[in-house]
Amino acid sequence: MEIKKFVKDFENALDNVESGSFTPETPLNTIKQLDSLGVLSVIAMMHKQYNTKIKGSGIKNAQTIFDLFNLIQK
């Protein structure tokens, strides 16, 4: 599975994010679009596109987009 595609899907899941805004290393706490609805949008994206159910705490504990990607791999 490709991290590049995941970052793109992550960007698409959030409102008002231009393509290429983030890298795998982008810290999640710097992403202002990741508010309560943003978190739900990311959970929904991971469920639909990757058939993965991520607990809210899984997202809260993740530091970067790459950490989220690793949750899918598990």
Partner 1 sequence: MACKITKIEYYLPSMILDNTQLEKEFSEWNAAKIEEKIGIRNRHLAAECETALDMAFTAGEKLLQGMDKQSIGFLILCTQSPDYFLPTTACILQDKLGLSRTCGAFDFNLGCSGFVYGLAVAKGLIYANITDKVLLITSETYSKFIHSLDKSNRSIFGDGAAAILIEKSEMDGIKEFTLGTDGSGYDKLIVKTGGMRFPNKENLTELFDDEGYFHSPDHLFMDGSEIFNFTIDVVPELVENTLNQNRMTKDEVDYFIFHQANKFILEHLRDYLSIPIEKFYLNLLETGNTVSATIPIALAECLQNCTLKKGDKVMLVGFGVGLSWGGCIIEI
Q: Select 19 or 57, whichever has its Cβ closest to partner 1.
A: 57
Instruction: Mention every residue, 6+ apart, whose C-beta is less than 8 A from residue 39.
Output: 56, 59
Check binding of 40 to partner 1 (CB under 8 A).
yes
Check binding of 53 to partner 1 (CB under 8 A).
yes
Segment lying near partner 1 (by CB under 8 A), choices 3-11, 19-27, 51-59, 65-73: 51-59
Which two structure tokens, joined as six digits, stand for 65?
A: 């987009």
Check binding of 12 to partner 1 (CB under 8 A).
no
Long-range contacts (CB closer than 8 Å, 24 or more residues apart) made by 37-41: 38/13, 38/14, 41/13, 41/14, 41/15
Write out the residues near partner 1 by the rule CB under 8 A: 36-37, 39-41, 43-44, 47-48, 53-57, 59-60
